[in-house]
Chains A and B, each alone.
Chain A
Amino acid sequence: MKKQALEAYQLSDYHNPCGIYQQRKRYFHKGPVWLVRTIYLTAAILLIMIHFNESSWAQTEVSSKSYRYSERELASRSYERHEVKPRTYPVFVRGGRPQREAVTLSPIAEKVRRRKYLADSHWGLKFYERLTCVRCHPRQARNLHYIRAKITCRQCHGPEPIAGLSHYYSKMSPRRRHAFVCAKCHEGANRSFASYVNHEPNPTALTTRKSFPLLFYVFWMMVAIAVGTFAVFLPHAFMWGLREFLPDNFVSALKERFVKWRKRDGQD
């Protein structure tokens, strides 16, 4: 790779997979056009072939990849009963107790944020053995994985000790979550897929405007479209239905009657 291209690559956002393709595109366009087109066409045909051959290729025996986990491993929440006891000794905390942060936090925020960095995020909690996850994290239980697929907290967050999200070796760390957690059921999960917000905030809540703005605005936009449609067409249909019970000459008859009344009352 030439120095210029290397710099461009380094400048590009490495989170964005398209960045790599853009570099390749530039490189290819230096060649003759027919060659580039042939390569693209071959790649497209190969992609299509791979896609349609997928099930035989992977030699899978289940009808759908995403069902495998729920069909085979999911049974009666038995994961809650074993491999869940916290260790009886204090686990190793990297770098000792976490450092004080520069910004002064509220007492609760301080506890929570510090725990994000612990190898055992629940270290030192009193009566921890007797608690369930949902007792302290009730809001976190309201997600599709927990409610619909009956996947327990530990099936994703792992056995004890449950590491804090920001701990270097945590399986839930964003840098390896897709491989260690998501891909257990979602075969082929990548980093982008792992950015799905499983513990989704309530889209109606005002706090979501800051935590997940796109969800908040799209939700209310869709609701506005729906409410707007019904606000116009429901009264319209209902009043149309009422109006059809009146004769067609209803207005003119009313006017005539009105004129008669006016004449009778001597106003004209």
Chain B
Amino acid sequence: MARIKRFTPAQRMFHLLLMLSFLTQAATGLARLYIETDWGLFLASLFGGYNGTLTIHWWVGLFMIALLAVHVLYVLIHVDWRRFPKSVYGPDSILPRKEDLGQALQHAGWIVGLRHLPRFDRWGYWEKFDYLAVFWGITLLGITGVILYNPVFFSNYMPGWVLNVLLWVHRIEAVLAIVHVATIHFFIGHLRRHNFPMDLVMFEGSVDLEKARHERPAWVERLEQNGNFHPTLADNRSNALRVFYYVFGFSVIACFIYLLVNGLVNASGLLG
């Protein structure tokens, strides 16, 4: 079966690092948020208690900020500067385009049976949303987190009572990110019939040609018409790696579901 390349090894590495660091941040952050509950105490004990948890949260947070910085550099290097304005507005770009809004509405129409399925190109609007949300999330959580970790220093440059506000911003944005990943991102990526039980494209870097033709017909057609189709074809996969990807992917999903479920179950402990 022919397979078509979708992600480069560098992009897969970015996702892998983001995934692991975000999981660590979610676990340590929730441990501190829920420290008044038994579950929070247990979770914090895995990372060295209340104070040790903060240390890990701080260093992994710095790592995520660095990861974002490196990714921005990576993006700047890989932008096709010769055809600059066109290249970032083209169909291969992950930046939002005018067509995305129309496709999102058409897709919603398809879901309720009113319209035909839109012919998606390389990136669907939901993928663009997920990708750009990370920029917003790491920026907001990073800035508030760095300020909250060094409150004395930063209160030289702002009133101290802003710290009260920033703590809530950090909390709500983090909960939004965790719940979004644990429900919407996982559902669309793995639980849909099209991808069930798991979409391995982010690990393998390649997708089955027929599957791509079905979900992203405009992309495959564009490649075929441009004549640069063959270089994008990928080798066959090794079965051992696939098994490893499944085990690894399901472990991470299980961790997030564990955090989500326990967070919901113990939510009443936050109010007391």
The segment out of A34-42, A122-130, A224-232 that lies at the interface is A224-232
- CB within 8 A of B194: which of A193, A197, A244? A244
Q: Mark A211-247, 1 if CB is under 8 A from B, else 0.
A: 0101100110011011001100110111111011100
Contact between B158 and A192, CB atoms less than 8 A apart: yes
Task: State how many angstroms separate the Cβ of B268 from the closest Cβ of chain A.
Answer: 15
Contact partners of A200 in chain B: CB under 8 A:
164
Q: How far is the CB of A222 from chain B (nearest CB, A)?
A: 4
Q: Kindly list chain A residues whose C-beta atoms are within 8 Å of the C-beta of B117.
A: 248
Do the beta carbons of A196 and B193 come within 8 Å of each other? no
Where chain B touches its partner, the secondary structure class is: helix
B172 interfacial by beta-carbon distance below 8 Å: yes
Is B152 touching A226 in the complex (CB atoms < 8 A)? no
Taken together as a complex, chains A and B put the C-alpha atoms of A202 and B111 apart, in Å, by: 41
B67 contact set on A, CB distance < 8 A: none
Q: Determine if B163 and A196 form an interchain contact, defined as CB atoms under 8 angstroms apart.
A: yes
- On whether the beta carbons of A222 and B172 are closer than 8 Å, the reply is yes
Question: How distant is the Cα of A230 from the Cα of B178 in the complex, in angstroms?
Answer: 12
For window 74-104 of B, CB contacts with A under 8 Å fall at none
Residue ID in chain B nearest A147 by CB atoms: B36
Q: Which residue of B lies closest to A65 (CB)?
A: B152
A223 to B176 Cα, complex, angstroms:
9
Known: A214-B165, A244-B193. A195 touches B160 (CB 8 A): yes
Q: A195-B160, A212-B164, A243-B111 are contacts. A229–B180 as well, Cβ < 8 Å?
A: yes
Q: How far is the CA of A187 from the CA of B36 in the complex (A)?
A: 27
Whether A197 pairs with B152 at a CB distance below 8 angstroms is no
A109 within 8 Å of B by Cβ?
Answer: no
Q: Given known contacts A226-B172, A233-B180, A238-B187, is B165 in contact with A215 (CB within 8 Å)?
A: yes
Interface residues of B in 27-43 (CB under 8 A from A): 35-36
Least Cβ–Cβ distance between A39 and chain B, in angstroms: 20
Q: Within the assembled complex, what's the spacing in Å between the Cα atoms of A219 and B192?
A: 34
- Whole-angstrom CA separation of A79 from B183 in the bound complex: 46
Contact A243 B110 (CB under 8 A): yes
- Chain B residue nearest to A230 (CB atoms) is B179
CB of A23 within 8 A of chain B? no
**Residue A188 lies at the interface, judged by CB distance under 8 Å to chain B:** yes
- A188 cross-chain contacts in B, Cβ below 8 A: 152-153
Q: Is A161 an interface residue (CB 8 A)?
A: no
Chain B: minimal CB distance from A261 (Å):
17
Q: How far is the CA of A225 from the CA of B173 in the complex (A)?
A: 9
Q: Are B168 and A218 in contact (CB under 8 A)?
A: yes
Contact with B along A175-202 (1 / 0, CB 8 A): 0000000000011111011111100100
Assuming A190-B156, A241-B187, is B169 touching A196 (CB within 8 A)? no
* Closest A residue to B162 using CB positions: A214
Contact of A193 among B107, B152, B176 (CB under 8 A): B152
Given the interface pairs A192-B160, A218-B168, A229-B176, the reply to whether A240 lies near B188 with Cβ below 8 Å is yes
Task: Identify B168's interface contact among A219, A233, A236, A239, CB under 8 A.
Answer: A219
Name B117's closest neighbour in chain A (CB-CB). A248
Which residues from A are CB-within-8-Å of B156?
17, 190, 192
A67 CB-CB contact with B under 8 Å: yes
Mark contacts of B125-156 with chain A using CB atoms, 8 A cut-off: 1 yes-contact digit, 0 otherwise. 00000000000000000000000000111011
B90 to chain A, nearest CB (A): 26
A219 to B167 alpha-carbon distance, docked (Å)? 10
Whether A251 is near chain B, meaning CB under 8 Å from some CB there, is yes
The smallest beta-carbon distance between B219 and chain A, in angstroms, is 18
Judge whether A218 and B155 touch: CB under 8 Å: no
Those of B106-123 within 8 Å (CB) of chain A: 107-108, 110-114, 116-117
Smallest beta-carbon distance A131→chain B, Å:
23
What 8 pairs across the A-B complex have the smallest Cβ distances?
A193-B155, A222-B172, A196-B160, A195-B160, A244-B193, A226-B176, A192-B155, A193-B160
Which A residues form the contact surface with B (CB < 8 A)? 17, 64-65, 67, 70, 147-148, 186-190, 192-197, 200, 203, 212, 214-215, 218-219, 222-223, 225-226, 229-230, 233-234, 236-241, 243-245, 248, 250-251, 254
Spell out B's residues near A (CB within 8 Å): 35-36, 50-51, 55, 107-108, 110-114, 116-117, 151-153, 155-156, 158-165, 168-169, 172-173, 175-176, 179-180, 183-184, 187-188, 191-194
Q: What are 14 A-B pairs with beta-carbon distances under 8 A?
A: A192-B158, A193-B155, A196-B164, A218-B168, A219-B165, A219-B172, A222-B169, A222-B173, A223-B172, A226-B175, A230-B184, A236-B108, A240-B188, A240-B192
Question: Can you name 10 extra interface pairs (CB under 8 A) apart from A196-B160, A219-B165?
Answer: A17-B156, A187-B152, A192-B156, A192-B159, A197-B164, A219-B172, A226-B179, A234-B183, A240-B107, A251-B113
